[in-house]
Amino acid sequence: MTLQKVLSRIRQAVDDYHMIEEGDRIAVGISGGKDSLTLLLALYELSKFYPKHFTVIAVTVNLGFQNLNLDEIRTLCADRNIPYTVVETSIAQIVFEDRKEDNPCSLCAKMRKGALNDAIKELGCNKIAYAHHEDDVVETMLLSLFYEGRLHTFSPVTHLDKTGLTVIRPLIYMREAEVIGFVNKYQVPVVKSPCPADGHTTREYIKELLQQIHRENPGVKDRIFTAIQRGNMEGW
C-alpha cells in the first residue's frame, strides 16, 4: 500500500464526511500500534496540500506499564516537526493491581479516553482523530449485535457534547490488511502493546470469527461495511 493510495483513501473519507475545517487543530491518539501511526503519517502528509489548512499533533497516554519504549515514535515526530506529548498515568496499576478487574478493557478504555481528552483540550485542540479502519467498523457492529442485542457501530464523525471536542475517523475506508501493507512498505516503527490483555479480548474473538467467515465467504466484510453505509447507522 503506497502513501499515495493511503492519502487517496483518507482524503475521500475526510471529504465525504466533512471531517476537517479551516483552522482545525487535530490531535492523533498514538498507542504505538500500526493503525494510529499510519493515521498520524497520513494526516501529516495531507496537511501539506489539503485546501483547508489544519495542524496535527500527536498524543500518547502512557498507561504506566514499565516496558513501553516510545523512543522511535519520538524520533518519527521530531523528524517531521510534529508536536508530541506523552501523558503519564497510573491506569495500569489501578486496573490490574488495585482493582484487579475481571474485565480490564472497559475501565481502562474509559480512563484512557478521559486522560486523552483532558490533555488535548489543554493543548488547544478542537478535534481528535481515532485510527478506526473498515474492519473495526464491522467488528464493532458484530460486537454490538452479539453482546448487546442491537445493531450499532461508531460514526465517521462524532461530537462530544461534554468536552466540546469532535472525534473524526479518517481511516474508515482502509482495510486492516492495507494498513499492514503500508507499515511494512515504509518500515513504520510500530510499538508492541505491553498490556497483558492484548490479544485476549472479545474484540479479538470477533476478529478471528470474521476472518474465518471471510475465508469461507470472500468479500463478506466489504458487503457488511456497504450495508452499514446504506443503512445510515448512527450518523453514517
Which is nearest to 87 in space by CA: 107, 106, 101, 68?
A: 68
pLDDT averaged per 10 residues in sequence order, the chain, 236 residues? 95 97 97 95 98 97 87 96 94 85 81 92 96 94 90 92 94 96 96 76 89 90 89 70
At residue 189, the pLDDT reads 94
Quick one: DSSP state of residue 95?
I
Written as nine digits, the cell of 159 is 461530537
Cβ pair 190, 182 in contact under 8 A: no
pTM for the model: 0.91
DSSP SS3 for 97:
helix
Cβ pair 126, 165 in contact under 8 A: yes
